[in-house]
Structure 1
Amino acid sequence: MARKAKNLLVELSRQGPHRVLRGDLALVGMPGLVCTPESGLGLPAVAFGHGWLQPPSRYHGLLRHLASWGVVAAAPATHAGPLGSHRLLAADLQTTLDVCVGVRLGDGAISVDPGKLGLAGHSTGGGSAVLAAAANPKVRAVATLAAAQTRPFATDAARGCSMPGLHLVGGRDVVAPPVANAELIAEAWSGPAQVRTLPKASHLGFTEGRHWSGLLVAGKAESATHKAAKALLTAFFLVHLAGQRDYLPLLETPFKSADITFDNTLEDPVDQSA
């Protein structure tokens, strides 16, 4: 099992088989970024919430990676200022999913299955993803990266989340310490939840490139953190949204680079491939 999981980790850390298209959510009335496979009907979709002061472009590689494995990935660019609203970003994440479902993407060769919707986010965007998930019964899976507390509290909203949750945290994160944020969210989660600690990851390790916010927020882009996050989020959404159970061993196996530090995953993921 461990050897198979390591092979899957390597496989899913690489680009998938699909050619990726990039689009602008502004074309449908909301600023933001969307990445899709070149074609495909009934695809899963994930809306991604940016962290405090972070533009969606800092997650472009992750969005492209998900799309290369057959998942439509979109990130609204709203509420990116220092006083951005967590509650309103959560609402925009829900709107982003509605757009993915209601609009034929690409040249009409791409559609999203309304039964295969997920949410994800980094820092306060992760907290906003939890807020959005608690308010939307159509969401089937939620993943967070270095989740930070929000107002309303993500820890309170987690009690209303019965879908599977995956929470990745950084062992060197001094902005959103795991015990004070992601672990509390996971402990309050009403459905199956798992926390994985990336021991060498900082708070901004999940972002890409350089940005002026690095003067205010600790950490910087880290390739090893990107590799682990891409593989784990891809496996998580392929299993729980697309029903591709072949990738389940990766979610069940701890790694030195991504140890399981909390796990109440008692339920088997539902096979949605039928």
Structure 2
Amino acid sequence: MARTAKHLLDELARRGPHQVLRGDLALVGMPGVVFTPASGFGLPAVAFGHGWLQPPSRYRGLFRHLASWGIVTAAPGTHVGPLGSARLLAADLRTALDVCAGVRLGDGAISVDPDKLGLAGHSTGAGAAVLAAADDDRVKAVATLAPAQTKPFATDAAQRCSMPSLHVVGGNDLVAPPRSHGELIAQAWGGPTQLRELPKASHLGFAEGRHWSGLLVHGKAEHATHRISRALLTAFFLVHLAGDQTYLPLLSESVKAAPLSYETVPTLSKD
């Protein structure tokens, strides 16, 4: 019997079957972290951009979750200050992909397929992921959480992106309101795209734990937001990077917890 989108969401919200290893990007000259399955060859990999003022440690649960489902995840720890550059963070995201694809990880027991690379991010780090994708032909999929406009403009860069994308926004986001940030990025996207809104999610609802930036940025860590966004990103990257169509129904159907509010699909030309 085919599983429904709700059943798939419940499955992917739980930890995956792989044991997880944690590494440090500082070993290759860049502050940041990398999480991998304990073993595996030809794996997909994602570079993740942190939000404004947010250290990568605020997303460790997400990184572990993706790695437990077989997706190598690297997160640069650069440009975390108030004057951080989205453009330079985008360059660091591309460098993180270079590391994943070019360095044998986990004492040689892990490798990444250079044809299975993706980008993701939260807030301005999501905007940086869009900037990076626009200038990197290797990127096969992009997912954003509460994406925020950047300089250079993420909306302009989105027009040059032809790979599939998923944009998850918060209905209670006062920092990057969906209609003026995530929706505009999705509408500008040059390839197939989806926009899903978590009705009760705040801007920092996607981050984890406590941090002093909560005094400046609206929102706080939200368990329900973590659960749903982790499942959606896992499904998205398993389908579009790993080629596992098992979880396609979660992406093609609307679910109550994350209704589909905007979508474009690729058009097929006649021979």
Which TM-score band (shorter chain)?
A: over 0.9
Q: How does 1:49-198 map to 2 (within 5 A)?
A: 49-198=49-198
Q: Which amino acid aligns with 1:232?
A: L
Name the structure 2 match of 1:222: 222
In the superposition, relative to structure 1, how do residues 25 and 8 fare at CA in structure 2: closer, same or farther (>3 Å)? same
Residues in 1 aligned to 2:265 and 2:199: alpha-carbon distance in whole angstroms:
22
Residues in 2 aligned to 1:42 and 1:267: alpha-carbon distance in whole angstroms:
30
Deviation of 1:139 after TM superposition, in Å, equals 0.1
* Matched position secondary structure for 1:51: coil
Residues in 2 aligned to 1:257 and 1:200: alpha-carbon distance in whole angstroms:
9
* Matched position secondary structure for 1:173: coil
Matched, 1:22 2:22: yes
Assess if the C-alpha contact under 8 Å between 1:118 and 1:139 holds in 2: yes
Q: Which amino acid aligns with 2:250?
A: L
Residues in 2 aligned to 1:44 and 1:208: alpha-carbon distance in whole angstroms:
24
Q: Which amino acid aligns with 1:7?
A: H
CA displacement, residues 134-190 of structure 1 (integer Å, 9 cap, x when unaligned): 000110000000000000000000000000000000000000001101111111101
Q: How does 1:196-207 map to 2 (within 5 A)?
A: 196-207=196-207
Matched, 1:243 2:243: yes
Assess if the C-alpha contact under 8 Å between 1:9 and 1:231 holds in 2: yes
Q: Deviating runs (4+, > 3 A) in structure 1?
A: none
Name the structure 2 match of 1:256: 256
Residues in 2 aligned to 1:265 and 1:38: alpha-carbon distance in whole angstroms:
35
Q: Which amino acid aligns with 2:201?
A: A
Deviation of 1:257 after TM superposition, in Å, equals 1.2
Deviation of 1:267 after TM superposition, in Å, equals 6.2
CA displacement, residues 186-245 of structure 1 (integer Å, 9 cap, x when unaligned): 111010010000001000000000000000000000000000000000000000000000
Assess if the C-alpha contact under 8 Å between 2:50 and 2:56 holds in 1: yes
Assess if the C-alpha contact under 8 Å between 1:33 and 1:76 holds in 2: yes
Assess if the C-alpha contact under 8 Å between 2:5 and 2:255 holds in 1: no
Q: Output the TM-score relative to the length of structure 1.
A: 0.96
Matched, 1:5 2:33: no
| Cα root mean square deviation, aligned | 1.2
Q: Output the TM-score relative to the length of structure 2.
A: 0.97
* Matched position secondary structure for 2:4: helix
Name the structure 1 match of 2:34: 34
Q: Which amino acid aligns with 1:215?
A: L
In the superposition, relative to structure 1, how do residues 239 and 267 fare at CA in structure 2: closer, same or farther (>3 Å)? farther
* Matched position secondary structure for 2:232: helix
The alignment covers a number of residue pairs equal to 268
* Matched position secondary structure for 2:8: helix
Residues in 2 aligned to 1:3 and 1:183: alpha-carbon distance in whole angstroms:
29
Residues in 1 aligned to 2:197 and 2:249: alpha-carbon distance in whole angstroms:
18
Deviation of 1:2 after TM superposition, in Å, equals 9.5
Assess if the C-alpha contact under 8 Å between 1:2 and 1:253 holds in 2: no
CA displacement, residues 20-66 of structure 1 (integer Å, 9 cap, x when unaligned): 00011001110001000000000000000000000000000000000
Assess if the C-alpha contact under 8 Å between 2:120 and 2:129 holds in 1: yes
* Matched position secondary structure for 1:121: strand
* Matched position secondary structure for 1:33: strand
* Matched position secondary structure for 1:160: coil
* Matched position secondary structure for 2:147: coil
